[in-house]
Copies of this chain bind each other. A is one copy, B any other.
Amino acid sequence: MTREPLKIGVLGYRFMGRAHANAMARLPMFFPDAPEIERHTLVGRDEAALADAADRFGFAHTATDWEAAIDEVDVFYNLGPNHVHAEPSIAALEAGVPVLCEKPLAPTLEEAAAMRGAAAATDVTSGTAFNYRFVPAICHAKRLIEDGALGEIRQVRGRYLQDWLVDPEAPWAWRMDADMAGSGALSDLGAHTLDLARFLVGDRVGEFERVAGQLTTFVDERPVHDEDGGVAEYRDVTVDDAYSAQVEYESGATGTFEASRVAEGHKNDHTIAVHGTKGSLKFSLERLNELEVLREGNRGYETVLVTEESDPYVDRWWPPGHVIGWEHTFVHENYEFLSAVAEGESFEPSFADGYEVQRVLAAIERADERGERVPVE
């Protein structure tokens, strides 16, 4: 049976566009069982930049009208800013086109709900691009937890630290605007952590039940530069620079979560720790090939280099000890998503997963506003 390559349309051609285009390009050599695809149409607004990106990323076509583009493709990747997630993604699903949407699913819970609804109303595949689920060390961690190696889960701790906003003169960007981004460190970084926590321990502790939250903005306005590099204006920062949350799970387990864009010296320091009645584990994104595991009968954490042939996805790459990088998570994610599309199967993390995270993000914001511990609604 021969099959036409899947035509891929991608909205967004910056950081995430590049990460996914690279992932697609790498599939044939390392995941030859992935469905054949064609990088078909790259969608954006700035035609010149778009043409340049399409050339670089290997897309045959460009489009400035996403609606028209959706008609032309078999699969739609929504990698735009958060406020353009809902409408095109829903339109694509309604048109029967599978969608992979970047995280967080939307700036508001309402939009996320609408997206979840659209996904539920159709059989076509959809997914939220929480790429850190596809780190081999994280997959290995999930296996250990599923196998009961940690016993009953009691405590989870997640932290995502960056420092690109330490300087008050760091320029304004859409990620600092509530309307476009939803929230700040919370939705950009916290969404990753909260999804990772769900992925790792959700089967054992249930959903997030109640949360307390604290959002803080250290720098209230930031410069917008004119073409000469001068400061044209100072624009309001309407999102948080940092958040923290205390959570309770259905099972009675608890969690603490935190993110910051002003943690000097931390570039992409995403860590998660889990404590159970039989063991513990720790993961750090900046050393993503490693997993620290405390197993029953051992006395201390064991530093496992998750690069064995038997480790998730690793047999596709290199021999033991030949470490992979951040970008590989996108390759794994694309492999799984496109395989699901080709098989007409569902994909996880789904839009429903994205929505679950959004519920928690919204609850943390609500808790902060009210100064109360609130149920996740």
A276 to B275 alpha-carbon distance, docked (Å): 30
Closest to A305 in B: B267
Instruction: Report whether A322 and B318 are in contact in the complex, using a CB–CB cutoff of 8 Å.
Output: no
A167 CB, nearest partner CB in chain B, Å = 8
Contact of A321 (CB < 8 Å), options: B18, B286, B327, B371: B286
A269 to B280 alpha-carbon distance, docked (Å): 14
Copies of this protein in the complex: 4
Q: Is A112 an interface residue, CB under 8 A from the partner?
A: no
Q: Write out the residue numbers on chain B whose beta carbons fall within 8 Å of the beta carbon of A29.
A: 18, 21-22, 25, 56-58
Instruction: Report whether A246 and B248 are in contact in the complex, using a CB–CB cutoff of 8 Å.
Output: no
Q: Is A38 an interface residue, CB under 8 A from the partner?
A: no
Mark A81-125 against chain B: 1 for CB-CB distance below 8 A, else 0: 000000000000000000000000000000000000000000000
Closest to A374 in B: B371
Instruction: Report whether B280 and A265 are in contact in the complex, using a CB–CB cutoff of 8 Å.
Output: yes
Instruction: Report whether A286 and B286 are in contact in the complex, using a CB–CB cutoff of 8 Å.
Output: no
Given A155-B242, A321-B162, A321-B286, decide whether A304 and B299 contact each other with a Cβ distance below 8 A.
yes
Contact of A323 (CB < 8 Å), options: B214, B264, B321, B326: B326
Which of A21, A279, A305 has the largest number of chain B CB atoms within 10 A? A305
Q: Is A328 an interface residue, CB under 8 A from the partner?
A: yes
* 9-residue interface stretch from A250-258, A332-340, A354-362: A250-258
The A27-82 residues at the B interface (CB cut-off 8 A) are 28-30, 32, 56-58
Instruction: Report whether B326 and A318 are in contact in the complex, using a CB–CB cutoff of 8 Å.
Output: yes
A318 to B299 alpha-carbon distance, docked (Å): 18
Q: Is A126 an interface residue, CB under 8 A from the partner?
A: no
What is A's interface to B at a CB cutoff of 8 Å?
15, 18-19, 21-22, 25-26, 28-30, 32, 56-58, 150, 154-155, 157, 162, 164, 166, 212, 214, 216, 218, 242, 244, 246, 248, 252, 254, 256, 258, 260, 262-269, 275-280, 285-289, 294, 298-305, 307-308, 317-328, 371-373
A58 to B263 alpha-carbon distance, docked (Å): 44
Instruction: Report whether A252 and B218 are in contact in the complex, using a CB–CB cutoff of 8 Å.
Output: yes
Q: Write out the residue numbers on chain B whose beta carbons fall within 8 Å of the beta carbon of A302.
A: 298-303
Task: Give 17 CB contacts A-B under 8 Å.
Answer: A28-B56, A29-B57, A29-B58, A154-B242, A155-B260, A218-B252, A244-B246, A256-B256, A262-B275, A263-B275, A265-B299, A269-B321, A302-B302, A317-B327, A322-B327, A325-B327, A372-B372
Q: Write out the residue numbers on chain B whose beta carbons fall within 8 Å of the beta carbon of A265.
A: 275, 279-280, 294, 299-301
The 4 residue pairs across chains A and B that have the minimum distance between CB atoms: A268-B321, A267-B321, A325-B325, A265-B294
